[in-house]
């Protein structure tokens, strides 16, 4: 089981988009995936069409109860399960001792190959508790001027919050990237953090927003679109890094394979 947290230095950069689509893409490639929505906004819960969970089934309520995590299967995607979130900003203040979340995840059956944690945009206690139990963190960033100011602080916080976890990569989402500023920021990110830059970038694609509104993933509609291909390549990259779960060369098959 590999626990991967999806984090960012600022909000609205695409964490929930990446968490939901990466989970779906890994499941599509044959891995057992558990998507855990640790942000009460419920972005990734909504993106996979899971609906708002009942109060006692929300992620934080389940962590508090101590019972075995109840997960929801996403019918249209074999291999994908979700623990959803419901709007309750107070839950961001919950603190859990190190190892609490991991212990819960280790009791989930069947054991997931990957757990993807969609985190809230700020380093609240709940976010830090999740980071502390992750094996790695994928940091999503957009190439905007603020990125260069906020990223070093986040990386410092990550080292502090989760000294055992590795930075899986800096994933560049081209959302809102315009002209020269974006190019300058990208060059600077590559110069300063080159080794950490994730080898797959996510292009801006308006299909993503439509799909999110409709509660499905982009490769439902068109698996050959630039963003669909990017998500599937991200999954391939993780399957190469953590082999044994599925075949990264699995061809992109037709819609009937997911129904
Ligand atoms: N590559 C992209 N192309 C087009 N739209 C995108 C892309 N990435 C994200 N979006 C859109 O940007 C918006 C913000 O994305 P998302 O909710 O994933 O960000 P977030 O980091 O999870 O936000 P928050 O910090 O509030 O949790 C959504 O409407 C999403 O559909
Ligand atoms: Mg989000």
Per-residue pLDDT of the chain (259 residues; tens, 9 = 90+): 999 999 998 899 999 999 999 999 999 999 999 999 999 999 999 999 999 999 999 999 999 998 899 999 987 788 999 999 999 888 999 999 999 999 999 999 999 999 999 999 988 999 999 999 999 999 999 999 889 889 999 899 888 887 877 899 999 999 988 889 999 999 999 999 988 999 999 999 999 998 988 888 998 778 899 999 999 999 999 999 998 766 555 544 333 333 3
Whose CA is closest to atom 9 on ligand 1?
14
How far apart (Å, rounded) are the C-alpha atoms in residues 82 and 95?
A: 22
Whose CA is closest to atom 26 on ligand 1?
12
Task: For the chain, give the number of residues.
Answer: 259
| Nearest ligand to residue 45 Cα | 2
State the closest ligand 1 atom to the C-alpha of 8, by its place in the atom list counted from 1: 21
Q: Report whether residue 62 contacts ligand 1, using a CB cutoff of 6 Å.
A: no
State the closest ligand 1 atom to the C-alpha of 17, by its place in the atom list counted from 1: 18
Q: Give residue 18 CA to ligand 2 midpoint distance, Å.
A: 9
Q: Report whether residue 17 contacts ligand 1, using a CB cutoff of 6 Å.
A: yes
**CA torsion angle for 34, 38, 39, 40 (degrees, to 10)?**
100
Whose CA is closest to atom 29 on ligand 1?
209
Whose CA is closest to atom 10 on ligand 1?
14
How far apart (Å, rounded) are the C-alpha atoms in residues 196 and 249?
A: 24
For all residues of the chain together, what is the average pLDDT? 90
* Superfamily, domain 2-244: P-loop containing nucleotide triphosphate hydrolases (3.40.50.300)
In the chain, the percentage of residues whose pLDDT exceeds 70 is 94
**Which pLDDT belongs to residue 13?**
96
pLDDT in tens, 174-214: 998 888 999 999 999 999 998 899 999 999 999 999 898 88
pTM of the predicted protein model = 0.93
| Nearest ligand to residue 201 Cα | 1
| Nearest ligand to residue 202 Cα | 1
- Which tokens is 29 given? 């490639």
State the closest ligand 1 atom to the C-alpha of 120, by its place in the atom list counted from 1: 27
State the closest ligand 1 atom to the C-alpha of 206, by its place in the atom list counted from 1: 4
How far apart (Å, rounded) are the C-alpha atoms in residues 234 and 8?
A: 17
- Which tokens is 14 given? 């695409």
On the CB side of 125, CA atoms within 13 Å amount to 11
Residues of the chain by 3-state class (helix, strand, coil), percent to 5:
45, 15, 40
200 to 77, 161, 234: CA distances (angstroms): 23, 26, 6
Q: Report whether residue 212 contacts ligand 1, using a CB cutoff of 6 Å.
A: yes
Q: Report whether residue 141 contacts ligand 1, using a CB cutoff of 6 Å.
A: no
Q: Report whether residue 205 contacts ligand 1, using a CB cutoff of 6 Å.
A: yes
**Which pLDDT belongs to residue 248?**
56
Q: Give residue 114 CA to ligand 1 midpoint distance, Å.
A: 22
55 three-state secondary structure: helix
How far apart (Å, rounded) are the C-alpha atoms in residues 78 and 32?
A: 8
């Amino acid at each position: 089981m590999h626990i991967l947290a999806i984090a960012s230095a600022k909000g609205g950069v695409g964490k929930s988009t990446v968490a939901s689509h990466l989970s779906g893409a890994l499941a599509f490639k044959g891995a057992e995936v558990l998507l855990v929505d640790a942000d009460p906004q419920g972005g990734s819960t909504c993106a996979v069409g899971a609906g708002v969970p009942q109060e006692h089934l929300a992620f934080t309520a389940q962590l508090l109860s101590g019972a075995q995590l109840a997960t929801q299967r996403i019918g249209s995607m074999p291999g994908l399960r979700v623990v959803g979130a419901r709007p309750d900003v107070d839950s961001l203040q919950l603190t859990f001792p190190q190892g609490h979340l991991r212990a819960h995840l280790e009791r989930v059956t069947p054991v997931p190959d990957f757990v993807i944690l969609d985190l809230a945009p700020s380093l609240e206690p709940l976010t830090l508790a999740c980071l502390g139990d992750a094996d790695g963190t994928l940091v999503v960033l957009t190439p905007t001027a603020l990125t260069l100011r906020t990223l070093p602080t986040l990386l410092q916080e990550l080292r502090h919050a989760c000294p055992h976890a590795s930075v899986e990569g800096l994933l560049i989402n081209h959302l809102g990237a315009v002209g020269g500023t974006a190019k300058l920021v990208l060059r600077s990110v590559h110069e300063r953090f080159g080794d950490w830059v994730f080898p797959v970038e996510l292009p801006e694609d308006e299909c993503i927003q439509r799909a999110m509104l409709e509660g499905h993933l982009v490769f439902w509609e068109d698996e050959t679109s630039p963003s669909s291909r990017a998500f599937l390549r991200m999954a391939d990259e993780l399957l190469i890094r953590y082999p044994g779960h599925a075949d990264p060369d699995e061809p992109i098959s037709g819609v009937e394979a997911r129904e």
